[in-house]
Chain A
Amino acid sequence: MIWKTLKRWYHQLGSPRYFYRFSEAVLPWLWPIALLVTTVGLVWGLAFAPEDYQQGNSYRIIFIHVPAASAALLGYISIGVAGLVNLVWRMKMAEVMIKAIAPFGAVLAAIALITGAIWGKPTWGTYWVWDARLTSMLIMLFLYLGIMALIHAISDPRQAGRAAGLLAVVGVINVIIVKYSVEWWHSLHQGSTIKLTGETTMPAEMLIPLLLSMLGIYLLFAVSVLWRARAELLWRERKSAWVKELL
């Protein structure tokens, strides 16, 4: 039953016109909810959560750093999936999604790196270490930028979408291998005992704002994707009847 509904959704959202109407209906309430959840999570983490036993107050950066990093990773995998869908089924919406996801995902990867660096200074004494996770995130940022550069370089939007999709599929395979390889390499050069978070189990007062912030950032991501997808759709379909009707 659920499977059937999901399949129906998938096919419906594959139509540009339906997607546009869907985004029109969803955005007005998604946008404020996303902002609200993010704000609640961040304010909670900043002002109400207790101090960390080892790191003091600097650990509060985690409420941005972890959501940004995980969302960037999810975004990249989504681009890979969209790329695969596009290569196999040549779905127009998949191309649009690739173009819509990449910019925000890249910004989140950059934020993860910047906040990680700022967090590193009071914690490890230096802004940058070739920590396995930081290095993997740096590579992922480059992969994002590569996709955006490729889309920008190809003038035909359909060709650009397909090329970016292929690159994304190859890149997703690479992301998995990079993570493993950099961890191994980092352990080769392990001179210091560095841990990104000291705690393996987070107390609830810290975990809940973290989860809220993550949810909020994911929702903001969705909002940005919908906005960009709408703009891209309108432009691609500008000559079609349903767009003309809209105006």
Chain B
Amino acid sequence: MTFTATLQRELLLAWRRPAEIINPLFFFVMVTALFPLGVSPQPELLATIAPGVVWVAALLAVLLSVDGLFRADHDSGALEQLLSAPQNLYVPVLAKLVAHWLLTGLPLVLVAPLLGYMLHLPSAAIGVLFVAVLLGTPTMIAIGAIGASLTVSLRSGGILLSLLVLPLYVPVLVFGAGVVSYAAKGLPVSGVLALLAAMMLASFTLAPAAVAAGLRISTGN
């Protein structure tokens, strides 16, 4: 299937299952809201932990959503059909990842600044938070997809997926939250943002190959 065809298919399927968009977003907001309740409502404290809290919440939301990336197709047999065709899997997988970002990542990006504001993040940092999450969510989806491709055929796949993917998320988390802390302190951010952009480009262009390999392994091709 071509890029646009796959993209259209994914968006159409998601349109019929709005839960795919709403659940990760709801999770994101709820988890972030838990921290003032569980830790402390003090503005200074919240402002200090805000970068990390928003990032961890976004990370977990992406992780949860990525588990279902291939599961529906695997269960319905559509995945096997796609793999049996003698074509390069790179393009359809890339389209699937783009679609997934549009459906899952983009809402997180749009809501993140609001959550930053609610956690008393200084305004200088909120813009950087937006850009950082914009760059980070595709990276996390790409890396998560690799894990998903390896665990799609397993029954306890969800838990195992988290175990596999969370260590791989550490660099994005460290740099993503770090750059927002930097911005809050008034330090220069362009270097780290460039690094995040590099990670996004690298992971998003290389991951589809790994995902394709993982899918072939999982379905025994």
Please tell me whether chains A and B touch each other in their complex, using a CB distance cut-off of 8 A: yes
User: Are the CB atoms of A174 and B167 closer together than 8 Å?
Assistant: yes
B168 CB contact (under 8 Å) in A149, A166, A171: A171
Neighbouring A residues of B167 by C-beta, 8 Å: 139-140, 142-143, 146, 171, 174, 178
B166 CB contact (under 8 Å) in A142, A166, A184: A142
Known: A142-B163, A149-B160, A178-B170. A167 touches B178 (CB 8 A): no
Neighbouring B residues of A162 by C-beta, 8 Å: 217
Instruction: Tell me the smallest distance from the CB of B38 to a CB of chain A, in Å.
Output: 21
Is A159's CB within 8 Å of the partner chain B? yes
How many chain B residues touch A (Cβ–Cβ < 8 Å)? 27
For A156, A181, A182, which residue has the most chain B Cβ atoms within 10 angstroms? A181
User: Are the CB atoms of A153 and B217 closer together than 8 Å?
Assistant: no
Main secondary structure of the interface of A (DSSP, over half): helix
CB 8 Å contact bits of B101-129 with A (1 = contact, 0 = none) = 00000000000000000000000000000
Find residues 157-174 in chain A having any chain B CB closer than 8 Å to their own CB.
Answer: 159, 162-163, 166-167, 169-171, 174
For A140, A149, A170, which residue has the most chain B Cβ atoms within 10 angstroms? A170
User: Are the CB atoms of A177 and B217 closer together than 8 Å?
Assistant: no
Is B27's CB within 8 Å of the partner chain A? no
A156 to B220, CA, bound (A): 10
CB 8 Å contact bits of B167-204 with A (1 = contact, 0 = none) = 11011001100100110000000000000000100000
Known: A87-B213, A162-B217, A170-B210. A182 touches B170 (CB 8 A): yes
Neighbouring A residues of B49 by C-beta, 8 Å: none
For A146, A156, A169, which residue has the most chain B Cβ atoms within 10 angstroms? A146
User: Are the CB atoms of B168 and A163 closer together than 8 Å?
Assistant: no
A156 to B146, CA, bound (A): 20
Find residues 106-153 in chain A having any chain B CB closer than 8 Å to their own CB.
Answer: 139-140, 142-143, 145-146, 149-150, 153
User: Are the CB atoms of A181 and B210 closer together than 8 Å?
Assistant: no
- CB-based nearest A residue for B182: A188
Neighbouring B residues of A146 by C-beta, 8 Å: 163-164, 167
A72 to B157, CA, bound (A): 27
A70 to B55, CA, bound (A): 32
A146 to B181, CA, bound (A): 30
B150 CB contact (under 8 Å) in A166, A181, A188: A166
Instruction: Tell me the smallest distance from the CB of B202 to a CB of chain A, in Å.
Output: 9
- CB-based nearest A residue for B155: A153
For A142, A169, A171, A182, which residue has the most chain B Cβ atoms within 10 angstroms? A142
User: Are the CB atoms of A188 and B171 closer together than 8 Å?
Assistant: no
Is B218's CB within 8 Å of the partner chain A? yes
The range of chain A's interface size is 20 to 34
B220 CB contact (under 8 Å) in A153, A159, A177: A159
Is A154's CB within 8 Å of the partner chain B? yes
Is B24's CB within 8 Å of the partner chain A? no
- CB-based nearest B residue for A156: B220
Known: A145-B163, A146-B164, A170-B168. A188 touches B213 (CB 8 A): no
Is A185's CB within 8 Å of the partner chain B? yes
A87 to B216, CA, bound (A): 11
A181 CB contact (under 8 Å) in B147, B151, B171: B171
User: Are the CB atoms of A166 and B171 closer together than 8 Å?
Assistant: no
Instruction: Tell me the smallest distance from the CB of A189 to a CB of chain B, in Å.
Output: 9
A194 to B174, CA, bound (A): 20
Known: A149-B160, A153-B160, A178-B171. A159 touches B210 (CB 8 A): no
Neighbouring A residues of B156 by C-beta, 8 Å: 153
Closest 10 pairs (CB-CB, A-B): A181-B171, A142-B167, A181-B174, A177-B171, A146-B164, A185-B174, A162-B217, A163-B150, A139-B167, A143-B167
Can you show 9 pairs from A to B with CB atoms below 8 A apart? Answer: A139-B170, A142-B163, A145-B163, A150-B164, A162-B217, A166-B210, A170-B143, A170-B168, A177-B171
